[in-house]
Amino acid sequence: MKEHKSKKFFGNAIISFSLLILITMIASLIGNKIGLQTSYLKVDAVTGNIESTIVGIVNLFHFSELKNIIGNAFVNFVGFAPVASFLIATIGIGVATKTGLLKHLFTRFGKKINRFWMTFFLALISIIITFISDTGFVILIPLAALFYYYNNRNPIGAIITSFVALISGQGINFVLSNLEYNLLPYTESGAKLIDSNFVLGNHTNLFFMIAGTISLAFLITYITEKITLYKLNKYPVTEEELIVTKSEKNGLFLAGIGGIILLLLFIYITIPGLPGSGLLLDMNKTNYLDQLYGNGSYFSSSITYLISIVLFVSGILYGFGSRAIKTKEEFSKIIYSSLDKIGSFLVLLFLASQLIAIFRRSNIGVVFNAYLIDLVNNLNFSALPLIVLIIIVVFIANLFLTSSATKWAIMSPVIIPSMMKSNITAEFSQVIFRIGESASNIMTPLSTYFIMLIGYLELYNKNDEHISFSNCYRLLWPYIIAIFLLWLILIISWYIIGLPIGFGTYPTV
């Protein structure tokens, strides 16, 4: 009995995050005292030049560091990206749910879709939507859960499916994503160490990404349908017959008109050269991708807000049209109640924000990555063994340093020259790096988005016990193993056969 209580105590996500904070601080103390430090080459994000950097472990128990941790706790929480995005998205989704709009839409469309294809399209959309930053984590996951719930399926299955597709599919897309765009300068700088005239295109790995997107969506669908949903208990759902009244039809019409107008308006302001357009673009740039993803662009950072506005306005219009909202008191109540039951989510976000800030401050992740990249440099592997080695190294490194840009800034000056010396192109090197991250993105608790998974699972948790790390990993392991093997097989096959990875680009020179 005591053992069972101990497991329940340490399995709690709040306790787990608190312990990880303590473990990080103790590790920083030990690492600092034994003098763990290293030097590495790094691509400067502004100039593109290669710089030598020395980094060591910071002792977080030092007086100044303890002062920093306590003094910046509020700043770390408020500045934690998912907090504002989650709150804004929850208001829009909450209003559309409370008025009955989402139930009407999801029940109506869900009845027409085969269950396998329902999951496949969810996985595919989740992968594709990664081109607009973190929007999928705060918009698509909760919408997917509601879609499954209203169609008498376990919403936890939808949460797992969408999360895995979003986190493993980052940068793997039909279109160039914001993340992939930000990696290009590092790839080009690394390649110029071997070829000073090297110029990197924007869509040089398009063919591989299309094949990868479709393969990944099918794999995730298969695991969800054949494994995950069988592991989950039957979710208690109250089945209701869908009877659409005249007032609900009026509400749906008003919501449709309002939503379409807003969507057209938002599309208009992302098109340059039209009267009053370009509001979200960096108009100091000439190339459209630079305008869309450049430092002066608000496109990626505002998408969640804009989608939330569409949901909010459509929900309100539906409420008035369907008579779900009759008075100003009901109007206010629906808006206020949109943020019900998120207390536990906010506590988890607070702890995650502190853990990530503290771990980043310790430099443990950077030092560990620098040691791993030294290993790659010293082993002198080439060709296929080098490809497999880098996939494994990136997989492990990503557990401790989750920022793709920071990792690639450290790794690209070593990985790309090593690859190019083995006649492997720089474009293919970036693909190898991205797929190395893919599977381990799912499992690291240091990811900004891992906490989102636990939070959403907690919202739909019907058990007396809170969601724990072990609950999550029990559901995630099949995806982690299968996705890692998928990428390994796909990348090795592509390399051996020599198929083009994009327009005019191949795995080898």
Whole-number pLDDT of residue 2:
42
pLDDT at 44 over 60: yes
pLDDT for residue 237:
65
Least confident span in 91-95, 171-175, 186-190, 363-367: 171-175
Separation between Cα atoms, residue 271 and residue 273, nearest integer Å: 7
Whether 160 maps to a domain, the answer reads yes
Output 81 or 70, whichever has higher pLDDT: 70
d(C-alpha 448, C-alpha 469), whole Å: 15
Q: Note whether residue 66 is domain-resident.
A: no
Report the percentage of the chain scoring pLDDT > 90.
48
Whether 185 maps to a domain, the answer reads: yes
In a domain, 322, yes or no: no
For residue 143, the Cα-to-chain-centroid distance in whole angstroms is 16
Does a structural domain hold residue 380? yes
What is residue 6's predicted lDDT score, i.e. its pLDDT?
Answer: 46
- 242 pLDDT band, cuts 50/70/90, is low
The stretch 360-370 carries a mean pLDDT of 92
The whole-number pLDDT of residue 420 equals 92
Q: Which residues contact 164 (CB under 8 A, 6 or more apart)?
A: 123, 220, 442, 476, 479, 483
Under 8 Å CB-to-CB from 117, ≥6 apart: which residues?
A: none
- pLDDT, greater one: 125 or 8: 125
The total of structural domains in the chain comes to: 1
Query: Residue 476: which pLDDT band, with cuts at 50, 70 and 90?
Result: very high
Predicted pLDDT at 364: 94
**pLDDT for the residue numbered 323:** 86
Distance between CA atoms of residues 302 and 280, nearest Å: 8
Mean pLDDT calculated for residue range 422-449: 91
Q: Does residue 42 fall inside a structural domain?
A: no
Return the number of other C-beta atoms located less than 10 Å from residue 295's C-beta: 9
Judge whether residue 5 has pLDDT over 70: no
Tell me how far CA of residue 83 lies from CA of 78, 80, 163, in angstroms.
7, 6, 17
Confidence of residue 299 (pLDDT cuts 50, 70, 90): confident
- Structure confidence at residue 246 (pLDDT): 82
Query: What does the buried/exposed string (b/e) look like for 356-366 if buried means 16 or more CB atoms within 10 Å of the residue's CB?
Result: bbbbbbbbbbb
Residue 154 lies in a domain: yes
Quick check: 3 pLDDT over 50?
no
In tens, the pLDDT along 436-474 reads 999 899 999 998 889 899 999 988 887 767 788 888 999
Give yes or no for a contact between 432 and 385, defined as CB atoms under 8 angstroms apart: no
What residue numbers bound the domain in which 377 lies?
113-242+362-497
| Mean local confidence (pLDDT), 236-246 | 66
Task: Give backbone dihedrals phi and psi of 505, rounded to 5 degrees, phi first.
Answer: -125, 145
Angle between helices 450-459 and 155-168 (to 10 degrees): 170
> Residue 196 pLDDT more than 80?
yes
Q: Which amino acid is at 176?
A: L
Residue type at 197 in one-letter notation: N
**Cα dihedral 65, 68, 73, 76 in deg (nearest 10):** -100
Residue 283 has pLDDT above 90, yes or no: no
Mean pLDDT, the chain, integer: 87
Is pLDDT at 408 greater than 60 in this prediction?
A: yes
Q: What are phi and psi of 114, to 5 degrees?
A: -60, 145
Q: Is the pLDDT of residue 248 over 90?
A: no
Mean pLDDT of 233-260: 79
Confidence check: pLDDT of 140 > 70: yes
| CA 112 distance to own-chain centroid | 29
415 — pLDDT class (breaks 50, 70, 90): very high
The predicted structure's pLDDT at residue 1: 37
44 in a structural domain: no
- Number of Cα atoms under 13 Å in the Cβ half of residue 455: 28
Q: What is the mean pLDDT of residues 148-172?
A: 91
Q: What percent of the chain has pLDDT over 70?
A: 95
| Count of C-beta atoms within a 10 Å radius of residue 377 | 15
Instruction: Give the mean model confidence (pLDDT) for residues 12-38.
Output: 91
- Looking at residue 272, its pLDDT comes to 83
